[in-house]
């Protein structure tokens, strides 16, 4: 049996009660933290909280050498854990498909995602988001600003009045010069706001920092103004609102200290 368990957003208490139970009773616990990570807990903290050994796999260890995980799942109860929800993007679909094709039962125990927290913390309604994008570090796409595909998605959502969730690049194990096991870099929201203000449009943006933590920061202002602020430890996200319903505008003023002028628009 192979159970994919999302740890949620922040620390060892962000997992569901069901997920924690499954981790505690597993024969083997595998984890990866290259797609995202828990900011409020390290591996030793997780091991102590769950009373298990956690075997951390890097990208090669998951994608090119999945055999140890599959063998453990064929022999007993193996769990594979990540921050957020493990299956929310296609990253680990391949591992699940391989397991199923070998006759290994699989299951998903969901975790809280950044996507959910982004609307929940800002008051921007989850219904009214268009396609999401990731803003890469300039060195990661070979340009020096905002990739055209990002600008196109932002524009297409705005044309339809929809909000955009901008995920900010995470580089773990890969740096400006290629593979680097020690590299760990998280794009900050102020840097993202500066990139978008210069390379796209200087519109209203909403920063969400440390979603899921006891003290998340939510701040709305023009991108050029957000670019001059600092939002502390990772992880950060940036939201670009589309048309605002009145309750959404009130929420941005009330929860994110947005300029009150947005209530008149």
Which residues contact a copy of itself by CB under 8 A?
A: 6, 8-9, 12-18, 20-21, 85-90, 93-94, 96-97, 100-101, 107-108, 110-113, 115-117, 119-121, 123, 125-134, 156, 160, 162, 211-212, 214, 245, 247-248, 250-251, 254-255
Distance between CA atoms of residues 108 and 111, nearest Å:
9
Angle made by CA atoms 166, 133, 146, in degrees to the nearest 5 = 85
Q: Of 130 and 136, which CB lies nearer to a copy of itself in the complex structure?
A: 130
Helix (H, G, I), strand (E, B) or coil at 100: helix
- For residue 157, the minimal CB distance to a copy of itself (Å) is 9
- For residue 153, the minimal CB distance to a copy of itself (Å) is 9
- For residue 132, the minimal CB distance to a copy of itself (Å) is 5
Measure the CA dihedral 208/41/36/20, to 10°: -110
Q: Of 111 and 205, which CB lies nearer to a copy of itself in the complex structure?
A: 111
Distance between CA atoms of residues 87 and 77, nearest Å:
18
Query: Which residues are within 8 A (CB) of 188 and not within 5 positions of it... i.e. 6 or more apart?
Result: 168, 230, 231, 234, 236
Q: Of 11 and 190, which CB lies nearer to a copy of itself in the complex structure?
A: 11
Q: Of 112 and 193, which CB lies nearer to a copy of itself in the complex structure?
A: 112
């Amino acid at each position: 049996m192979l159970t994919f368990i999302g740890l949620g957003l922040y620390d060892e208490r962000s997992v569901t009660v069901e997920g924690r139970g499954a981790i505690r009773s597993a024969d083997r616990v595998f984890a990866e933290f290259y797609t995202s990570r828990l900011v409020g807990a390290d591996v030793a903290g997780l091991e102590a909280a769950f009373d298990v050994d956690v075997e951390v796999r890097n990208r090669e260890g998951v994608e090119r050498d999945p055999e140890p995980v599959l063998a453990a799942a064929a022999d007993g109860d193996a769990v594979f854990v990540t921050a957020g929800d493990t299956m929310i993007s296609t990253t680990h679909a391949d591992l699940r498909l391989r397991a199923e094709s070998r006759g290994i039962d699989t299951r998903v125990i969901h975790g809280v995602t950044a996507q959910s927290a982004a609307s929940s913390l800002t008051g921007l309604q989850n219904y009214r988001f268009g396609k999401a994008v990731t803003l890469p570090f300039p060195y990661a796409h070979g340009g020096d600003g905002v990739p055209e595909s990002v600008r196109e998605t932002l524009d297409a959502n705005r044309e339809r009045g929809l909000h955009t969730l901008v995920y900010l690049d995470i580089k773990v194990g890969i740096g400006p010069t290629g593979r680097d096991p020690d590299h760990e870099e998280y794009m900050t929201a102020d840097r993202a706001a500066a990139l978008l203000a210069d390379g796209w449009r200087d519109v209203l943006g909403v920063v969400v920092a440390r979603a899921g933590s006891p003290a998340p920061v939510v701040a709305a202002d023009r991108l050029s103004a957000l670019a001059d602020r600092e939002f502390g430890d990772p992880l950060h996200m940036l939201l670009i609102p589309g048309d605002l319903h009145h309750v959404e505008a009130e929420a941005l003023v009330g929860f994110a200290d947005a300029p009150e002028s947005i209530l008149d628009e």
